[in-house]
Structure 1
Amino acid sequence: METVINKTNVMSGAVVTLASYILGPYWFLFGIFLALNVIDYATGYIKAKFYNKNESSAVGAKGIVKKVMYWLIILMAFLISIAFKQIGSMFGMDLGFVVFLGYLTLATYIVNETRSIIENAYEMNMKVPEWLIKGLDIVESKIDIEAENKMEKK
């Protein structure tokens, strides 16, 4: 049993180290987004199969493609940030602030996935706290305002 625990600790440590190296200090945000992707897909599947009785492999495949596209857009936002930062350094300009593009994109999609999970729960006749829905609206508004402010400052 101790061997299993030791192997699990080594593997989880390796995963966290690799994620930190590749994704940076906020790697866990990507993990949260991935978890929300899985939860959203699962709740959508349950809703379609057991509540709406309209399960479709085409709709499921479309959902998977949509989630892959979210990841590609996030990747693109971070790549653009890196490119602009490097271009700025070529001209002696500090464009380090553009890293916010990637994180704001990620934050927007985290809110979007959370809303989708809540929507699935609501359609399965589950009571969803009103404060959670309003809180997500506020967070989304603040993300949009912050993005606009950053763009106007630079």
Structure 2
Amino acid sequence: MKVRFLDKCNAIYGVAVTILVTILGPYWYIFAGYLLFNVLDWLTGWYKARKLGRESSKTGLKGILKKLGYWVIILVAFLMPKLFIGLGHDLLGINLDFLLLLGWFTLACLLVNEIRSILENLVECGYNVPAFLIKGLAVTEKLINAETENMNGVDDEKE
């Protein structure tokens, strides 16, 4: 009986991973991690609101819609480069594979944002979050923002 249960679990896990790899590619686990952070952020935000007496269905729904909006941003950030890569390959004869970095950069920025939000919620709920986590994420966010500003500055200078 235990063997059948384990066989079923392995089969279900195998099917799930196969579907995820087919849809999201070999790095599906990064997207799964982001989804997990979405859920944890929503749960810690709900817990914080409940603890502070500011719980509301409207605010919870806004949070969920905001998370869905982030997934749309990720979709656009990965779909747009795919379209331009196809355009470059088929019509222009140029290799534009580097544009996929836009999607990964977007996902990295949103991951840092989610993790910081989770930690901020926990701090506001009274948990002692190690300072190195908060400072490390703050430094990471500053570096990402600085790089983004540098890119904007280069574009502004060209005009």
Q: C-alpha deviations, 1:68-112, integer Å up to 9, x for none?
A: 000000000001110111111120111000001111111111101
The 5-angstrom pairing of residues 1-154 of structure 1 reads: 1-49=2-50, 51-89=51-89, 90-144=91-145
Q: Within 1, Cα distance between the matches of 2:113 and 2:4?
A: 41
Q: Within 2, Cα distance between the matches of 1:114 and 1:26?
A: 19
Query: Could you tell which deviates more after superposition, 137-146 or 40-49?
Result: 137-146
Give me the TM-score of the superposition, normalised by structure 1.
Answer: 0.90
Q: Within 1, Cα distance between the matches of 2:144 and 2:75?
A: 18
Q: Within 1, Cα distance between the matches of 2:15 and 2:62?
A: 33
* 44 and 23 in structure 1: CA distance in 2 versus 1, 3 angstrom threshold: same
Q: C-alpha deviations, 1:31-78, integer Å up to 9, x for none?
A: 0000001111111111111x2011100000000000000000000000
Instruction: Count how many residue pairs are aligned between Structure 1 and Structure 2.
Output: 149
Given residue 7 of structure 1, which amino acid in structure 2 is its aligned partner? K
**What is the DSSP-based 3-state SS (H/G/I as helix, E as strand, rest coil) of the residue aligned with 2:61?**
helix
Given residue 77 of structure 1, which amino acid in structure 2 is its aligned partner? A
State the shift of 1:139 in Å.
2.4
Q: Is the 8 A contact 1:107 1:143 kept in 2?
A: no
Give me the TM-score of the superposition, normalised by structure 2.
Answer: 0.87
Q: Within 2, Cα distance between the matches of 1:43 and 1:109?
A: 17
Given residue 35 of structure 2, which amino acid in structure 1 is its aligned partner? L
State the shift of 1:21 in Å.
1.5
**RMSD over aligned Cα atoms:** 1.6
State the shift of 1:144 in Å.
4.5
Larger Rg: 2
Q: Which runs of 5+ in 2 are unaligned?
A: 155-159
Q: Give the % identical residues.
A: 44
Q: Within 1, Cα distance between the matches of 2:147 and 2:7?
A: 44
